[in-house]
Amino acid sequence: MQSVSRSPARHDPAPSRLSYRMNRLWLTPAFHRVLRLGLPVLIVVASIAWYVSDAERLAQISEKVEETRRAIEQRPEFMVNVMSVQGASPELSDAVRDVLALRLPMSSFDMDLEAMRQKVLDFNAVADAHLRVRPGGVLAVEIAERVPAVLWRHQHGLSLLDAEGEMVAGTSGRGDWPDLPLVAGKGAEDVIPEALALIETAAPIKERLRGLVRMGERRWDVVLDRNQRIMLPEKDAVSTLEALLALAEQQQMLERDVTVIDFRSPRRPTLRLNRNAVIELRNIRDPESGDTLP
């Protein structure tokens, strides 16, 4: 019986499924980018993480970074040696220096200019302020100071207000500000622009004007010398005062023995005479009856 010889198994030239998938993966652009960029970055990050995982090495790195930062910040071109306050009175300038309390020289990196600006703006006398570091190590504090426009008499004393009614400062006496007009009464500080308009309108009788009084937080009284008072309406006070002064000039109303000119109702103005004028009128006899006036 003859034996049948078997030929050896042939090798399949087709790639295996795993090999095929690996070849396809190698051809993917995203996989190439990961190998080209991601892997080096991962190695670097891992190396840094390992290096700084040691507390002593981390402290040394932090100390070195801090030394480098301070060395840069304290270079001469970044140091502030002088503070200049501009636009303020000597008293306000000294107060600004005291509140900022800077210990010069110091690095400009150690200055919070916005926080310093807010401290300057906290002064009533300061309308606006700007801070900047100029070349040469100069901290320039530029101040727009409020200008007093009126004296306001209130229950706590006297205060200086600017043209917008903002507080400037307190004051101890009227004599310190003889050229400023005087206003009084609750709520007067809220309508200072109107008060200034009335004062400007009263320019023809400026020498006799003693001040304005806010009545009931609604309207104004104009106070003159010789205890005379002009009572103005709530609305159109400026135009009413203009008309009254024109009428008073024609009829010499303010030269008479009048204590109050009531113009709260312009259609029905009322005059109030002083006591001596009333007595004098009562002593005038009626030319027809011969009786005195009641």
Which of 194, 119, 131, 185 is CA-nearest to residue 153?
Answer: 185
Q: Are residues 133 and 198 in the same domain?
A: no
What pLDDT score was predicted for residue 64?
A: 75
Are both 127 and 108 inside the same structural domain? yes
- Give phi and psi for 222, each to the nearest 5: -95, 120
The domain spanning residue 124 has which CATH number?
3.10.20.310
Residues 192 and 264 in one domain: yes
Burial class (CB in 10 A: 0-12, 13-18, 19+), 223: middle
Mean pLDDT of 79-91: 90
Instruction: Give pLDDT, residue 52.
Output: 67
Chosen domain end from 99, 120, 145: 145
Q: Specify if 68 maps to a domain.
A: no
Q: Give yes or no for residue 239 having a pLDDT over 80.
A: yes
Range among 70-79, 85-94, 269-278 rated most confident = 85-94
Q: How many CB atoms lie within 10 A of CB 64?
A: 10
Domain shared by 255 and 136, yes or no: no
Does 226 have pLDDT greater than 50? yes
Residue 216 in domain = yes
Can you give the pLDDT at residue 1? 46
160 shares its domain with 250: yes
pLDDT in tens, 165-205: 999 988 888 888 889 999 999 999 999 999 999 999 999 99
Predicted confidence band of residue 291 (pLDDT cuts 50, 70, 90): very low
- Phi then psi for residue 58, to 5 deg, are -65, -40
| Total structural domains within the chain | 2
Q: Are residues 118 and 204 in the same domain?
A: no
Sorting pLDDT into bands at 50, 70 and 90, what band is 289? very low
Last residue of a domain, one of 145, 164, 199: 145
pLDDT of amino acid 30: 75
Domain boundary residue among 145, 161, 183? 145
Q: Which residue has the higher pLDDT, 5 or 38?
A: 38
In a shared domain, residues 209 and 264: yes
| Residue 126 shares a structural domain with residue 172 | no
Is residue 165 one of the residues assigned to a domain?
yes
Same domain, 273 and 231: yes
Query: Are residue 96 and residue 80 in the same domain, yes or no?
Result: yes
Domain annotation covers residue 187: yes
Specify which residues 245 forms β-bridges with.
none
Taking the C-alpha atoms of residue 197 and residue 1, their distance in angstroms, rounded to an integer, is: 141
Mean pLDDT of 242-248: 88
pLDDT at 110: 85
Q: What is the pLDDT of residue 176?
A: 86
Give domain status of residue 24, yes or no: no
274 vs 92, residue with greater confidence: 92
Looking at the DSSP bridge assignments, the partners of residue 85 are 141
The residue among 90 and 63 whose pLDDT is bigger is 90
Q: What is the mean pLDDT of residues 49-54?
A: 71
Q: Which residue has the higher pLDDT, 48 or 105?
A: 105
Rounded to the nearest integer, the mean pLDDT of the chain is 82
Nearest C-alpha neighbor of 83 from the set 134, 145, 146: 134
User: What does DSSP say about strands 182-184 and 150-154: parallel, antiparallel, or unpaired?
Assistant: parallel
Look at residue 74 and tell me whether its pLDDT is greater than 70.
Answer: no
pLDDT > 90: percent of the chain = 42
The residue range of the domain holding 245 is: 150-282
| Prediction pTM value | 0.64
Q: Is residue 197 part of a domain?
A: yes
Q: Express each pLDDT in 21-36 by its tens digit.
A: 777 766 677 776 776 7
Residues 259 and 180 in one domain: yes
Residues 95-122, mean pLDDT to the nearest whole number = 91
pLDDT at 4: 52
Residue 10 lies in a domain: no
Between 91-95, 182-186, 237-241, 244-248, the lowest mean confidence (pLDDT) is in: 244-248
The pLDDT score that the predictor gives to residue 290 is: 45
Residue whose structure tokens are 């200055």 = 111
Residue 205 sits in the same domain as residue 109 = no
Residue 59 lies in a domain: no
Domain with 201 in it: what CATH number? 3.40.50.11690
